[in-house]
Amino acid sequence: MLPGSEREDVDSGGKIIMPPSALDTLTRLNINYPMLFKLSNKRSNRQTHCGVLEFIADEGKVYIPYWMMKNLLLDEGDMVQVESVSLEVATFSKFQPQSSDFLDITNPKAVLENCLRNFACLTTGDVIAIKYNQKVYEMCVLETKPGNAVSIIECDMNVEFAAPVGYQEPKHEKKPATEEMMVDPADLMPEPSGFIAFKGSGNRLDGKKKKENTDDPLNQVKVAYQRGIPDYDYTLGTIQFIRNIRPVIDDKAHENQDGFKPFAGSGSVLKTKKK
């Protein structure tokens, strides 16, 4: 690049530095502004488009960004043809990141918009380089409208992104639907062995018998778990609904058998009536 101190703004944009004699020639010609140029490599039949940053290069030389040299298949000191052109204003462009690392950027559209301020035009098929957070990202220009080469100076352009090169959609494995267990897993655990707190029996001081609390889970006898037995005689197309039907008890017949009638006795008064 330029001799002396390094200038990062030259290599990170899409503009070139030309000699002062080019400015004198362009001012005498009837050209359209802003100044846009077409760079061609006749040996490889490659071409791209760019803007101009300054006219301070040595005579007979132009300084162009490294990514542009790669697109034109140029080496330092090679011949390049520079032509003044007029391009249409861009309305749409589509980019494809060359690495999946570009997905790590939080707001890629805002980053690209900020980096494109250093560019003057875009050419379909070029691989441009943008710098963000001390890292260089390469972007391939897949499509531009209304032409294959467009100007992006003071334009309202819609931007789309294609999937990065080598990107694969993450595979979400579907977990098989687990059948709901009809039995509580806690019931399948073996009975605790050894010391069990508050498992002993107690006595009352008044000598009366202790009432058994049937709701206490410690007093309930745990039924041993038994696996269900499949119906091996099952035939396709038949469904059996087996229900435990309780017999209906006739209360009237039960009363007649025992001969008991509620509230049918006679009462007495403790206090005698005065005569």
- Is the pLDDT at 73 greater than 80, yes or no? yes
Q: What is the DSSP string of 39-80?
A: EEETTTTEEEEEEEEES-SPTT--B--HHHHHHHT--TT---
- Is the pLDDT at 68 greater than 80, yes or no? yes
pLDDT of residue 91: 93
Contact present, 37 and 16 (Cβ < 8 Å): yes
What average pLDDT does this structure show over 150-158? 92
pLDDT digits (tens, 9 = 90+) for 16-59: 999 999 999 998 888 888 899 999 999 999 999 999 999 999 99
Calculate Rg over the CA atoms of the chain.
46
Q: Which of 42-56, 198-212, 244-258 is least confident?
A: 244-258
pLDDT of residue 267: 76
> Up-side HSE of residue 98: CA atoms within 13 Å toward CB?
12
What average pLDDT does this structure show over 149-158? 92
**pTM here?**
0.58
